[in-house]
Amino acid sequence: MMAKRGFDVVVREKRSDPRINSGPDGRSINLAMSAKGINALRYVGIFDEVEHLLMPMKGRMLHLQGGQTDLQPYGQFDHEFIYSVSRLKLNHLLIDKAEKLGVRLKFCHSVEKFDDSGINFNSDRGAYVLPAESVIIADGAGSRVRKSYGHHQPIMPSEDILPHSYKELTIPANDDGGFKISKRALHIWPRGQFMLIALPNLDGDFTLTLFMPTKGNVSFDALRNKIEVEEFFEKFFPDTLDLIPNISEQFFQNPTGILGTVRCNHWHHNDQFILMGDAAHAMVPFHAQGMNSAFDDCVVFDSIVSKKLSGWKEVFQEFEKKQKKNADAIQAMALDNYIEMRDGVLDSKFALKKELSFELERRIPSHFIPRYSMVMFHKNIPYSVSYKRGEIQKEILNELTEKANKISEIDLDYAEKIVRKRLDPL
């Protein structure tokens, strides 16, 4: 986006060029993309080229403990899909595009810290310092620049590590390249305190992620050997045993990742640099919005740059003012969604509330859109609005379903009346 505006852009990246060395990077293999991510790709004019990399997922396929399955659609309208995309393929495409626009890419250049002398780098040619002048810092959740700040300094960063971790496993494709389970869904095996999820890949395989407490009776720490891993899967996920070959080998070969939320009081240091994406606001992955919100940051930043304000400080300030409340909101919703995915979906009232939400959305779409749909399918509804309205909607749904077991027991005219009373039109 910046190169398209005529800026001379240099990208410095710690790792080597992933188009040449595409080994695993310790992050998720695929990602769920939704409205804000797609909007950013359209905004920059490359969605058509990304589209063929996307695998549409219509809903959550629940795999219950007894082996039954239940497809819960994410939305109710035909276009309401989310998409699975390969992180690597998307990265390759974006890097190629940037390069074609004249962006100069410097791989194996690692930022070390920010101090009075500027931004300190290390590279295979040695260490060097660059003046901190209009720099976009996007070095991810473990941002070195952010870590250069103490808790008392203006950026005031904090990191909340979740007491749950994750591990990725693979369900390979069938010998003929076909999918072993439905490719049109995001699969979830919800088990209360923990869960397993699976996203399809274009090549017929699925990437599974086990999310579970790090310590405790049922935890990553408690699975110390082959027998313990196999017994764990036999007990909680017996229907996956035929799908995942060498389960214990995969389990011990693949790293266990930590999850957390990064918050900062400010994202910029005068006009010197701005933190963006995970460096500013990393979140737990349960609403699948980390990348989507980072892409949204780019669109918002570019639209502010286009206003030609008086200087970078003003651009950074306006960006922070516009996006920080949205980052706070999506971080909170991402934490909520972990409970919903692993536990909430098993609640007997969950399906009823969902049915009622869809009914209200059909009756009064100007006033009521389910929170999940606002976040995932509506590019123009900011996260802060989805969060605020979602809290009011939650209260309304709780009230209306308190004494009802099916939708026919709910007075829908009354429901419509209270929605109109408590929520302004969108």
285 makes contact with ligand FAD (CB under 6 A):
yes
The burial class, CB within 10 Å (0-12 / 13-18 / 19+), for 280 is: buried
Asked if 417 is part of the footprint of ligand FAD (rule: CB under 6 A), the reply reads no
- In the complex with ligand FAD, the residue whose CB is nearer, 190 or 277, is 277
The separation between the first and the last C-alpha atoms of the chain, rounded to the nearest angstrom, is: 30
Classify strands 126-130 and 135-137 as parallel, antiparallel or unpaired: unpaired
- Residue 274's contacts (CB-CB under 8 Å, 6 or more residues apart) are 135, 136, 137, 267, 268, 301, 316, 319, 320
Total chain residues near ligand FAD (CB under 6 A): 27
Pick out residues in 207-236 that bind ligand FAD (CB under 6 A).
209
State the minimum distance, in angstroms, from the CB of residue 371 to ligand FAD: 17
Q: With respect to ligand FAD, which residue has the nearer C-beta, 291 or 356? A: 291
The site string for ligand FAD over 1-20 (x = CB under 6 A, - otherwise) reads -----------xxxx-----
What string marks each residue from 298 to 317 as x (binds ligand FAD by CB under 6 A) or -? --------------------
CA distance 168 to 26: 9
Q: Does 289 bind ligand FAD (CB under 6 A)?
A: yes
In contact, 180 and 191? CB cutoff 8 Å: no
Q: Which of 277, 370, 382, 390 binds ligand FAD (CB under 6 A)?
A: 277
Q: Does 75 bind ligand FAD (CB under 6 A)?
A: no
Binding residues among 118-177 for ligand FAD as defined by CB under 6 A: 138-140, 144, 166
Q: Does 357 bind ligand FAD (CB under 6 A)?
A: no
Question: Which residues, at least 6 apart from 208, have a Cβ–Cβ distance to it below 8 Å?
Answer: 168, 169, 170, 171, 196, 197, 198, 240, 244
Cα 117–126–15 angle (5° rounding)?
100
Residues whose CB falls within 8 Å of the CB of residue 13, separated by 6 or more in sequence, listed in order: 105, 106, 107, 108, 109
Report which residue type is found at 293: S
200 contacts ligand FAD (rule: CB under 6 A): no
Residue 26 CB, shortest distance to ligand FAD, in Å, is 9
Residue in this structure with the two tokens 């040619």, named with its chain if needed: 125
Contacting positions for ligand FAD (CB under 6 A): 12-15, 27-28, 31-32, 110-111, 138-140, 144, 166, 209, 257, 277-279, 285, 288-292, 294
